[in-house]
Chains A and B, each alone.
Chain A
Amino acid sequence: MKENEALAELSSIRSLMERSAKFISLSGLSGVMAGIYALIGAFFGYRIVYQTGAGLGYREHYVNDQFVITKLSLVALVVLLCSIGTAVILSTRKARQKKQQIWNAASKGLLVHGGIPLITGGLLILILLYRGYFGIIAPACLIFYGLALVSGSHYTFKDIKWLGFSEILLGLLAALMPGYGLFFWSAGFGVLHIIYGLIMYYKYDSSK
Chain B
Amino acid sequence: MLEQFDKAFESRIRLQIMSVLAANESYDFSSLKELLEVTDGNLASHLKALEKEAYIAVNKSFVGRKPNTRYVATEDGIEAFKRHLKSLEKLIKQQK
- B interface residues, Cβ below 8 angstroms from A: 5, 15-16, 19-20, 22-24, 27-28, 31, 34-35, 85, 88-89, 91-92, 95-96
Contacts and interface: CB of A to CB of B under 8 A. Distances in A.
Contacts of B20: 16-17, 20
B35 A18 contact: no
Q: Is the interface of B mostly helix, strand, loop or mixed?
A: helix
A7 B89 CA distance: 8
B91 A20 contact: no
Contacts of A7: 92
Contacts of A16: 16, 19-20, 23, 35
B34 A20 contact: no
B96 to A, nearest CB: 8
A18 B20 CA distance: 8
B27 A20 contact: yes
A13 interface: yes
A3 B92 contact: yes
Contacts of B28: 105
Given A3-B92, A101-B35, A104-B31, A10 B85 contact: yes
A19 B5 CA distance: 25
A16 B20 CA distance: 7
Nearest to B16: A16
A101 B19 contact: no
Nearest to B96: A3
B92 A105 contact: no
Interface in A1-43: 1-3, 6-7, 9-10, 12-13, 16-21
B91 A6 contact: yes
B92 A17 contact: no
A158 to B, nearest CB: 15
A19 B24 contact: no
Contact of A6 (B15, B16, B27, B92): B92
